[in-house]
Amino acid sequence: MTASADDHSVDHAQTIAYPSPGARARQFEYSGHPHVVVLFGATGDLSRRKLLCGLGYLVASDLNADMQVVGTGLDDMSNDEFREFARRSIEAVGARKLTPEQWATFAPRLHYVPSSAGPAALAAKVVECEAELGDGVRRLHYLSVPPKAAPAVISTLSEAGLIERSRVIMEKPFGEDLQSAIKLNDFLHETFAEEQIFRIDHFLGKEAAQNILALRFANGLFEPIWNRNFIGHIQIDIPEALGLDARAAFYEPTGAYKDMVVTHLFQVMAFVAMEPPTALEPMAISEEKNKVFRSLTPIKPSDVVRGQYLGYRDEPGVHPESDTETFIALRAHIDNWRWAGVPFYLRTGKRMAEGQRIISIAFKEAPKSMFPAGSGVGSQGPDHLTFDLADESRVSLSFYGKRPGPGMRLDKLSMQFSTEETNRADEVLEAYERLILDAMAGDHTLFTTADGIESLWDRSIPLLTDPPLVKPYAPGSWGPNQIHQLIAPHAWRLPFERGWRAKK
């Protein structure tokens, strides 16, 4: 059955006080409904690194204390064995550690049903957990499974009768081309209403990504100059130092473009490029993001550099003649009034020199310089506004200023901000924590719609049909040499000539 939109609109929030670790009680808006979270792929890598500790923190910090978690997966485990698995995972690789007191609060709320037990056993455990929580319980199904396994999970939920009062979080990539995305959307819509579906991109859950909206639309300093008249080009650069990490079975048929660009970099680009929404609410923001995707011109193979790090074909599970790209850089254009003629440069890859996550807005240089030759003006490139999407949530504005001393010599200076320097640094939520809370509240602001993802796959057709050959690059480098021709006459911001200032 398909749920009605009325049952799954954004919940009326209630304000609660919660104790941040090591700080006084704060105020936070959240949905007041108790939830049973059904976690598919509960023993997988994402669950180990992010989801279990994130759910634990939401419970232990009272952001949503009324929660029970039912894990399910291929491993045969008892409740106690799953709790021990979760405890060891959080301690070893969890993105956020739990104190002994927090773990003692969270552990009794963890349950496990092996997938081999079937839909009836899963349904019985969910009903049991709902009885413990009382009235008004909602269900949140998190599909931390490979994309090809998603239809089987949806069928399991349908057979188990767990569709009503539920929402579902879908992991990326959502499809692998336009046809598969349409097919998956059609399949989902046979069971779930669009309002129930949350296609996740954890990059948009980061504090710095949301700060783009604040800087753009709340400040008279930036809003008037956020267009082609003042901005020369934009870079979204997300290199990774890590390699495959034993994920060849997933990565070989996927590659960097499907894994990262469609599901992450284009989503971030939409926040940078979208028009002002009519209100700071999910439907208005989603529509403006979708307008960006519809305005994106088809990705031409000639505007793309694909790379593969040396040694990739020797990785376990990789075909010895693999053409899968582990690196991609591209030039994108948005065909609308605001961005006509402004190139967007996107780059990501594995086994690169550093792991970074930046958005860099390059402003046009002054049309005429009154400064004499040799003064230094223009020697270090244009002024930049840079967002760091790492957990520190930093922003930097670089500009030319006079060097102290006699004469007129100019140096590149910068003003920097970090949430770590504020008295609310302890309130920063990890991306998955924020997104899980938003899904519980029915808030689609930071998620992708069916129309949005289909638009992106449609614009990807030329590249997917005729991809350029992969170019080799050395592990620990910044990618193939061809990336410099791609961005000329500009230059890549990474590696930085100056590092971020460390917190004192």
Instruction: Read off the pLDDT of residues 154-167 as tens digits, 9 standing for 90 and up.
Output: 999 999 999 999 99
Q: Kindly report the backbone phi and psi dihedral angles of residue 259, in degrees, each rounded to the nearest multiple of 5, phi listed first.
A: -75, -40
DSSP 50: I
Q: Is 350 annotated as a binding residue?
A: yes
Residue 396 pairs in a beta bridge with 386, 416
pLDDT value at position 440?
Answer: 94
User: What's the mean pLDDT in 394-406?
Assistant: 83
Question: What pLDDT sits at residue 504?
Answer: 61
- Place domain 204-487 in its CATH homologous superfamily: Dihydrodipicolinate Reductase; domain 2 (3.30.360.10)
**Which pLDDT value is given to residue 106?**
95
- Give residue-wise pLDDT tens across range 54-76: 999 999 887 887 999 999 999 99
Q: 368: annotated binding-site residue? A: no
Distances (CA, A) of 503 to 54, 96, 256, 494, 500: 26, 20, 33, 21, 9
Q: What is the pLDDT of residues 125-136, one digit of tens each?
A: 999 999 999 999
Exactly one of 8, 264, 333, 384 is catalytic; name it.
Answer: 264
CATH for 5-171 is 3.40.50.720
Q: Band of the pLDDT at 16, cuts 50, 70, 90?
A: very low
133 is in an annotated binding site: no
**Complete DSSP assignment for 253-302:** TTHHIIIIIIIIIHHHHHHHHPPPPSSSSHHHHHHHHHHHHHHBPP--GG
pLDDT above 70 for 25: no
The answer to which of 162-171, 210-219, 282-291, 350-359 has the lowest mean pLDDT is 210-219
For residue 33, is pLDDT > 90?
Answer: no
Residue 319 appears among annotated catalytic residues: no
- DSSP state for residue 129 in the 8-state scheme: H
The chain-wide mean pLDDT, for the chain, equals 88
Question: Both tokens of residue 147?
Answer: 């994309």
46 annotated as a binding-site residue: yes
401 annotated ligand-binding residue: no
Could you report the per-residue pLDDT of 426-479, keeping only the tens digit for each?
A: 777 888 999 999 999 999 988 999 999 999 999 999 999 999 999 999 999 999
Percent of the chain at pLDDT exceeding 70: 89
**CATH 3.40.50.720 domain position(s) in the chain:** 5-171
- 394 — pLDDT class (breaks 50, 70, 90): confident
Structure confidence at residue 22 as a pLDDT band (50, 70, 90) = very low
Asked whether residue 43 is marked as a ligand-binding residue, the answer is yes
CATH 3.30.360.10 intervals, the chain: 204-487
Say yes or no to pLDDT of 237 above 90: yes
97 belongs to an annotated ligand binding site: no
Cα 193 to Cα 165, 270, 317, 441, distances in angstroms: 11, 24, 38, 16
